[in-house]
Amino acid sequence: MISVRRRQVIPKIKRNRILSALSRGKRLDGRDLDEYREMRFKVGLIERAEGSAEVLIGATRVLTGVKIEVGKPYPDTPDRGVLIVNAELVPLASPTFEPGPPDENAIELARVVDRALRSAEVVDFGKLCLIPGEKVLLLYVDIYVLNHAGNLIDASALSALLSLMTAKVPVYEVSESGVEETGEYRPLELLNRPITVTMAKIGDVIVVDPSLDEEEVMDARLSISVDAEGRICAVQKGGPGYFTPDEVEKCVELAFRKSEEIRGKVVEGVGQA
Amino acid sequence: MPLIVDRRRVDGRKPEELRPIKIESGILENADGSAYVEQGMTKILAAVYGPKELHPKHLADPQRALLRCRYHMAPFSTEERRSPAPSRRDVELSKVIRNALEPAIFLEEYPRSTIDLFIEVLQSDGGTRCAGIVAASVALADAGIPMRDLVSACAAGKVDGHIVLDLCYVEDQEGEADLPVAYMPKLRQITLLQMDGLLTREEFERALKLAIRGCEQIYEAQREALKRRYEAIERLVGGEGA
């Protein structure tokens, strides 16, 4: 049984306060309905990792490290490298996170990030093959949530993308005796750059980038990933509520608009998108 | 290998055609409610136990019942044997399926209790999360649990450049996109929405509309299954009170 909702006890009063502010088009932290919190990022801060990036959205803070290793390919894709995305809701990040193996929230988070990267074909897996059927490069993307203040999905997706964008791949020499590290590195070229935008529905109002308070009272959320060519590459609805078809259309419109804005910031910040 | 030739799909269907679907309810003795769904080669059993007392008690919600959901694939349900241990996929699907059914159930009628829902995929040929939701909501109704509407579910997607309904396994694996949707037709509410693959905005909107049309058709099959069940009960008690 894996379904226990670990909700913090929220006085109904908070939902009412949030709803009454929303009915006036305002949010408790003063943001507009379609406004993200301040977004900041840093890349390359973990020297031992082949790629790393920390993203802050308001007080939400997520660090992602990329480790690249040599390993066996999957039998059905013998000449392709492997991408493995994992997320840890580290106990230091929130009083509601507990030590132990990833729970359903951590697994969902990792799989939503993974889906966007995979659908958008971010990495040319053919270039990560060393010896077909035997040795390929494994890209481990480990998402580490350091402070949970709402909207972990967007922060995690962006930090995973930035860590891959700045990752360097060890160059191996392939000989009859096997593969050997040369000590040199090449950049990991990315073919696509998906951006994920999460919206929460509270009452019948849609807000982007929900804060923790908003997540605790929301009816449902919708995350939509948009790739560099303006295609939708992943969608995930979460939470116990519903969306009407019109609300979904509105969310799609918002996701396209906000993902462009974020993409612009990423271009400025990392300078290669 | 082309998946669509002359507007015919690998199994002979037209792009906007569902696979044959068969739904039966009330088929497991012990469960409070149960259902069996066959959709093409996909075969699913769902069973509901509850509302019943919740253990451990500290998990109880004083405002409403807890819905607990386990989606699981049988080791023999796929081409290669699967480990019976729950995979990460099973854990995620259990969560999104729970979220897809919660809006339908009057959980507030049963504070402090639990409704346990088990979905077993006996054979998988694509569309198992949707067929699982279809079976689960029939099983919930069979258990007599009050609901706002039946939740129906169906996927649409993109295969060989065409927007198609109800993808089978090959189409899901080889196709360009998969968009599973759960929907309450009477209320016009979407309770599950996922997507992977690549779709333009226009294709996404077309696929979503098509999936909703598929849900509406499957909804009728769900209602028929429940009607048959109650007609059978009525015959059993000799039409008394009818």
Mind listing the pLDDT tens digit for each residue in A165-209?
999 999 999 988 889 999 999 999 999 999 999 999 999 999 999
- Residue A166 CA to residue A168 CA, distance in Å, equals 7
B157-165: average pLDDT: 97
Fill in the amino acid letter for B57.
K
Contact A235 B179 (CB under 8 A): yes
Contact A242 B191 (CB under 8 A): yes
Tokens of A125: 């897996």
Fill in the amino acid letter for B67.
L
A237 interface with B at CB cutoff 8 Å = yes
B197 interface with A at CB cutoff 8 Å = yes
Fill in the amino acid letter for A84.
I
B170 interface with A at CB cutoff 8 Å = no
Supply the pTM of this predicted model.
0.94
- Residue A101 CA to residue A88 CA, distance in Å, equals 9
Residue B99, classed as helix, strand or coil, is helix
Find the CB nearest A243 among B70, B179, B190.
B190
A241-264: average pLDDT: 97
Q: How far is CA A143 from the centre of its chain?
A: 8
For residue B22, the cross-strand partners are B38
Instruction: Please give the pLDDT value at position A132.
Output: 94
Contact B199 A231 (CB under 8 A): yes
Tokens of A213: 């308070």
A69-83: average pLDDT: 95
B179 interface with A at CB cutoff 8 Å = yes
What domains are there in chain B, each with its CATH number?
Answer: 18-236 (3.30.230.70)
- Residue B98 CA to residue B133 CA, distance in Å, equals 9
A18 touches A29 (CB < 8 A): no
Contact A110 B96 (CB under 8 A): no
Mind listing the pLDDT tens digit for each residue in A91-101?
999 999 999 99
How many other CB atoms are found less than 10 A from the CB of residue A52?
Answer: 24
B150 touches B184 (CB < 8 A): yes
Mean pLDDT value across chain A:
93
A115-122: average pLDDT: 97
Q: Which of A43-52, A258-267, B109-118 is least confident?
A: A258-267
Those residues whose C-beta lies under 8 Å from the C-beta of residue B196, and which sit 6 or more positions away, are A115, A118, A119, A233, A234, B177, B178
Kindly give the residue spans of alpha helices, DSSP state H, lying in B71-200: 88-101, 128-142, 169-174
Residue A5 has pLDDT above 70, yes or no: no
Find the CB nearest B88 among A111, A222, A233.
A111
Instruction: Please give the pLDDT value at position A272.
Output: 52
- Residue B158 CA to residue B205 CA, distance in Å, equals 12
Q: If pLDDT is split at 50, 70 and 90, which confidence band does A273 have? A: very low
User: B178 in the Ramachandran plot: left (φ > 0), alpha (ψ -120 to 50) or beta?
Assistant: beta
Mind listing the pLDDT tens digit for each residue in B27-72?
999 999 999 999 999 999 999 999 999 988 988 998 899 999 999 9
Instruction: Please give the pLDDT value at position B242.
Output: 46
Q: Does the N-terminal peptide bond of residue B51 adopt cis geometry, omega within 30 degrees of 0? A: yes
Mind listing the pLDDT tens digit for each residue in A38-51?
999 999 999 999 99
Find the CB nearest A107 among B88, B177, B204.
B88
What domains are there in chain A, each with its CATH number?
Answer: 23-270 (3.30.230.70)
B192-214: average pLDDT: 98
B60 interface with A at CB cutoff 8 Å = no
Find the CB nearest A232 among B95, B187, B201.
B201
Q: Name the one residue in this structure whose structure tokens are 């609300």.
A: A247
A150 touches A217 (CB < 8 A): no
The whole-angstrom distance between B97's CA and the closest CA on chain A is: 10
- Burial A146-174, CB ≥16 within 10 A → b, else e: bbbbbbbbbbbbbbbbbbbbbbbbeebee
User: B3 in the Ramachandran plot: left (φ > 0), alpha (ψ -120 to 50) or beta?
Assistant: alpha
C-alpha separations of A81 from A52, A76, A135, A165 in Å = 19, 12, 9, 17
Which positions in chain B touch A230 (Cβ < 8 Å)? 200-201
Q: What is the ipTM of this complex?
A: 0.93
Instruction: Please give the pLDDT value at position A259.
Output: 97
A148 touches A62 (CB < 8 A): no
Q: Residues 72 to 101 of B: which have CB under 8 A from any A CB?
A: 86, 88-89, 91-92, 94-96, 98-99
Those residues whose C-beta lies under 8 Å from the C-beta of residue B235, and which sit 6 or more positions away, are none
